[in-house]
Amino acid sequence: MQKIRLKDIIKNPDIIGIGNNVDVKGWVRTKRGNNFVQFIALNDGSIVTNLQIVVDNEKFDEALLKQITTGSCIHVIGKLVESQGKGQTIEVQAESIEVYGSADPEQYPLQKKGHSMEFLREIAHLRPRTNYFGCVLRLRHAMAYAIHKYFNDRCFYYLHTPLITSSDAEGAGEMFNVTTFDLNNIPKTEDGKVDYKQDFFGKHTNLTVSGQLEGELGALALGNIYTFGPTFRAENSNTPRHLAEFWMIEPEMAFYDISDNMDLAEDFIKYLVKYALENNMDDLRFLNDMFDKSLIERLESVTKVDFVRLGYTEAIDILLKANKKFEYPVKWGIDLQSEHERYLVENHFKRPVILTDYPKEIKAFYMKLNDDGKTVRAMDVLFPSIGEIIGGSEREADYNKLLTRVNELNMTEQQYWWYFDTRKFGSAPHSGFGLGFERLLLFITGMTNIRDVIPFPRTPQNAEF
């Protein structure tokens, strides 16, 4: 039999036709009624709207009806009719019902509505069955699809960079070790150090903090590439914006300077927001109405405004003049804290800001040095309520300058010999950036905690599911 999802039936009842029989399967959200008739709200995860199933008690065994409780999974065959009731235009008059799986009301954790987000995090295995998470997960899917579409349509190639790496990409964060050693019996060298030669890869390896360095190798061959995969940072930062395992999109483009890079970043984010507005309005409207009343308005406004482009030095001036006491004092050279970023975006400019030309000391070794010798061609895109959503730069393409910087930082060319090779053989100006997928989703869904936009969050002391 042809498989039909509730989304298709609800959006386009004509594919079944009023008066015809339909075959639906899903989970019961609620059941209410009286001695004569029951109304079941059925949801199969394809759409936030439920399908109403009308049950004439007389036609069914009482024992069967008893098993149909919130959370149970059922299969219904019945006639599609126009609904007489409020709240829906169509409904199904049940002819036959099969219970696939019951859900004991005494035990089912989602028996009642209105659970807190904190509680739902503890039942991450079941929370996709709530309306909130259904919306979030469908939007997450839509954004992933839109990202691939955006790049595919513009001749960017999807490059799979390794998750296990022997390079500390950029000191972007503490790394997770990857080893097959028995931790109770680690082989040591004569001078007492860990003997990685005996480990699986014959060297010290980690989970990657970024695919960028390998991305650059791809860009200097294919022109434009992007990566889209999981990224790992073992920072012990328990904030609403950090995960230990998050997904990152990293485009890398040959022949792009910093200003081309900014243009792409702005166009990319606007495209994704527009995509959600054009294709996922049901989910956005639900989140807007139930959770964050200004969500849709905020999304629409971002697609219309030009992002501010501002140098780090000017930003520091604005912060110094700000009539606000910051927890972290402001002076030239500091790494901006989220309170500073949010002041610029939410109070001062009231729109997204792209900050450029940061002091080289607070940025990674690969960023192109400006003529002043002090700042680098970095760019961070800062968003309302989120702070940094994108980090990127033009890359240092000059072999000698890169070597000087690497030496200044007490790193060695040897560590990155393959990276240096690209500067020796056919080097080219190039740029790229990384968009945090979950940070994007915080913006798109209006959720306030990053743990609520990824199905199974990984944070310090938490890897249950």
Residues in contact with Mg ion by CB under 5 A are: 391
Minimum gap (Å) between residue 350 Cβ and ligand 4AD: 21
Minimum gap (Å) between residue 413 Cβ and Mg ion: 25
Closest CA to 253 of 212, 200, 294, 314: 212
Q: How many CB atoms lie within 10 A of CB 267?
A: 12
Minimum gap (Å) between residue 11 Cβ and Mg ion: 40
Q: Residue 99 touches which of Mg ion, ligand 4AD, none (CB < 5 to 8 A by kind)?
A: none
Q: Residue 432 touches which of Mg ion, ligand 4AD, none (CB < 5 to 8 A by kind)?
A: ligand 4AD
Tell me if 210 contacts ligand 4AD by CB under 6 A. yes
Tell me if 436 contacts ligand 4AD by CB under 6 A. yes
Number of Cα atoms under 13 Å in the Cβ half of residue 421? 11
Can you tell me the distance from the alpha carbon of 132 to that of 140, in angstroms, rounded to the nearest whole number? 12
Minimum gap (Å) between residue 140 Cβ and ligand 4AD: 14
Minimum gap (Å) between residue 179 Cβ and ligand 4AD: 22
**Quick one: 243 or 287, whose CB is closer to ligand 4AD?**
243
Token pair 């080289």 is found at 360
Strand, helix or coil for residue 78: strand
Stretch that binds ligand 4AD, among 65-73, 325-333, 349-357, 429-437 (CB under 6 A): 429-437
Position among 199, 214, 250, 452 found at the interface with ligand 4AD (CB under 6 A): 250
Minimum gap (Å) between residue 257 Cβ and Mg ion: 20
Dig out the tokens for 32 from the structure: 């209410």
Can you tell me the distance from the alpha carbon of 291 to that of 107, in angstroms, rounded to the nearest whole number? 27
Position among 233, 348, 377, 423 found at the interface with ligand 4AD (CB under 6 A): 233
For residue 353, list its beta bridge partners.
308, 382
Burial class (CB in 10 A: 0-12, 13-18, 19+), 14: exposed
Token pair 């190039």 is found at 430
What does the DSSP assignment read for 321-390? H-SS--SSPP-TTPPPPHHHHHIIIIIIISS-EEEEEEEGGGS-TTBPBPTTSSEEEEEEEEETTTEEEE
Stretch that binds ligand 4AD, among 65-73, 134-142, 146-154, 436-444 (CB under 6 A): 436-444
Q: Residue 398 touches which of Mg ion, ligand 4AD, none (CB < 5 to 8 A by kind)?
A: none
**Quick one: 168 or 388, whose CB is closer to ligand 4AD?**
388
CB 448 within 8 A of CB 439: no
Tell me if 243 contacts ligand 4AD by CB under 6 A. yes
Strand, helix or coil for residue 89: coil
Measured in whole angstroms, the distance separating CA 146 from the mean position of its chain's CA atoms is 13
**Degrees (nearest 5) of the Cα angle 422, 213, 449?**
160
Q: How many CB atoms lie within 10 A of CB 289?
A: 11
Chain residues 141-200 in contact with ligand 4AD, contact rule CB under 6 A: 170, 172
Say how many residues touch ligand 4AD, by CB under 6 A: 22
Position among 133, 156, 246, 256 found at the interface with ligand 4AD (CB under 6 A): 246
Stretch that binds ligand 4AD, among 55-63, 246-254, 290-298, 323-331 (CB under 6 A): 246-254
**Quick one: 172 or 194, whose CB is closer to Mg ion?**
172
Stretch that binds ligand 4AD, among 30-38, 240-248, 268-276, 412-420 (CB under 6 A): 240-248
Minimum gap (Å) between residue 244 Cβ and ligand 4AD: 7
Minimum gap (Å) between residue 246 Cβ and ligand 4AD: 4
Measured in whole angstroms, the distance separating CA 351 from the mean position of its chain's CA atoms is 21
Q: Residue 387 touches which of Mg ion, ligand 4AD, none (CB < 5 to 8 A by kind)?
A: none
Minimum gap (Å) between residue 139 Cβ and ligand 4AD: 17
Cα 21 to Cα 26, 76, 316: the distances in Å are 17, 10, 67
Stretch that binds ligand 4AD, among 259-267, 333-341, 433-441, 453-461 (CB under 6 A): 433-441
Can you tell me the distance from the alpha carbon of 293 to that of 295, in angstroms, rounded to the nearest whole number? 6
Position among 29, 140, 360, 439 found at the interface with ligand 4AD (CB under 6 A): 439
Dig out the tokens for 368 from the structure: 């192109």
Tell me if 288 contacts ligand 4AD by CB under 6 A. no
Query: How is the beta sheet containing 375-383 ordered, strand by strand?
Result: 157-158, 224-232, 245-254, 430-436, 387-394, 375-383, 353-359, 308-311
Binding mask 385-404 for ligand 4AD (x = CB under 6 A): ---xxxxxx-----------
What is the tally of helices (H) and strands (E) in the chain? 13, 16
Tell me if 248 contacts ligand 4AD by CB under 6 A. yes
Minimum gap (Å) between residue 124 Cβ and ligand 4AD: 17
**Quick one: 438 or 452, whose CB is closer to ligand 4AD?**
438
Q: Which residues bind ligand 4AD (CB under 6 A)?
A: 170, 172, 210, 212, 233, 242-243, 246, 248, 250, 388-393, 432-434, 436, 438-439
